[in-house]
Amino acid sequence: MTPVEDHSVDHDVHTDPAALEQLTDAAAQERVEVAPDGSVVGYKARRTLRLRVELARQLRRRRVQLVLGFLVLLPWILWAAFEFGTEATGQRSGGFVDLATSSAPNFVVFVLFAVSSFLLPMIVALFFGDTIASEASWSSLKYLLATPVPRHRLMRQKAITSGLLSLLAITLLPAMSLLVGLIFYGAGEAVSPTGDAIPFDESMLALLFTVIYLAIHVLWVAGLALFLTVSTDAPLGAVGGAVLVAILSQILDQITALEGLRNYLPTHYAFAWSDLISRDIDWSNMAAGAFSAVAYAAFFGLLAARRFRTKDITS
């Protein structure tokens, strides 16, 4: 039998020694400098997640556009309700609802009275509660941190953006209400339910302080929603949790049997701004309300920072 010749093919990989030497020299010359904090030289945390980029991104979101659009339309809806719902307009006595059509300032006061207990806290809860939990629900949070964006900067930039959006909402509503009031009710005096009347120019100053107070008052909602948004991957849970706490606080505030304990509820001073529509302004309730809001906001903010710093990010 004729022996079978071995025709196996040689599969050894042959490389160019000169090319290998060039690659080795290039790798030897490559230097990666590391800063004392462990980061690569040239990396700057402040260049990551810039505020204007995040703000522009949030303004393009449909939920933000719908909320702002609704706040623009709301004064017109309320005017239509007064216009077609009753013929008794321009009253000079009664509650905030009765006085709403007496002048432009009173119309603004009525709108703020109608929304400050529920709508404004809900909007603030939406902006703050959705900010980080939404990133987690989209599974993009871990990629943001791997960019790398430091955790403290991520939470700070998100919180500042949410704060600016909330301030825009709190300012936009009375501004649009004032425009509607000036068109249909004129620049008259602001009349309080107690019968005090202040001139138009003084009422504008009072409304400015009202907006400032409302912006401070809702800080407790912002802090709570921020804590919830870093504690869950469900945006609806964070937003809904903050809104439910606000509702619960308002319910408890109606129970007179609690007596002095009601002063410690975060919503107890929600309408303290109404003291501004007066000749003799009592600042005590607003001061207590501002202190309460800032204290709650600081407490929940510290909890949020601690929770996010130690949280295991998996989404």
Kind and range of the H or E element at 191? strand 190-191
pLDDT tens for 21-45 read 665 666 566 555 655 544 555 556 6
Q: pTM for the complete prediction? A: 0.83
CB 185 within 8 A of CB 78: no
The span from the CA of 187 to the CA of 177, in Å, is 13
The mean per-residue pLDDT over the stretch 258-286 comes to 93
The CA-based dihedral angle spanning residues 21, 23, 24, 28, taken in that order and rounded to the nearest 10 degrees: 140
pLDDT tens for 63-115 read 999 999 999 999 999 999 998 876 555 565 567 888 899 999 999 999 999 99
Q: pLDDT band for position 150 (50/70/90)?
A: confident
Using the predicted structure, report yes or no on whether residue 13 has a pLDDT greater than 50.
no
The span from the CA of 155 to the CA of 129, in Å, is 12
Give the pLDDT score at 28: 62
Task: Using alpha carbons, select from 94, 111, 79 the residue that is nearest to residue 184.
Answer: 79
Parse the chain into domains and list their residue ranges.
51-310
Whole-angstrom CA distances from 6 to 1, 3, 10, 181 are 15, 9, 11, 100
Amino acid identity for residue 57 in this structure: R
Residues in the chain: 315
Q: Say which DSSP state 264 is in.
A: G
Phi, psi of 34 (to 5 degrees): -115, 130
